[in-house]
Structure 1
């Protein structure tokens, strides 16, 4: 009889997963992967894991399928995503004139005002006055 799938579609913790004699597609990397799995299991079931309610920590409200390294990977991915979004948003806002002030209702008319164009291109008004 097959068991039901784990909650939230996540993989079950390492100790509940059936281990085949040879797992297909999993590189051993001279035992490094096994070492990291053991470290992950140790941290997950330690007091640290209990505090953060990681799977297998015997916390009454543990989060199914969460392990230390999985949470670290999720944090790094979130950080990289947010850093990219912040960098791209700043570039888009500066190129679109998002920080420049124009009181006209028709935004296309704002491009005819020299001070607005200078702000949009990142130039100060003193530089545009020196050119004229």
Structure 2
């Protein structure tokens, strides 16, 4: 599953890596009604992965997986606003969170930023390598 997610989100031909957010909006406005470029449009793909493909844990929060997929798309579409040197690590962290939700015993709580709070407790900073001024 990790290999597939990495291939999907790291592929240079991925629409979210190619287009800017403005270009993406233009594409979406001009698509026929039955077409979508939404990475988590109706949850059908996530449900299929959970029910048929992967040995997912019981109680997977499909909406959380959809949100993480959408977050990956937003990160890539808005890459110009982010630190270029950390973009791939950010993609990897979101993929890890998707896998934690699908297979982990702690779900999204496995993310150090969520587990330790968005204030970034000392444990989260140490794991991420983040250094605060004066710390």
TM-score category by the smaller chain?
under 0.3
TM-score (norm 1): 0.27
- Answer 1 or 2: higher relative contact order, Cα 8 Å, separation at least 6: 2
Larger radius of gyration: 1
Higher relative helix content: 2
TM-score (norm 2): 0.27
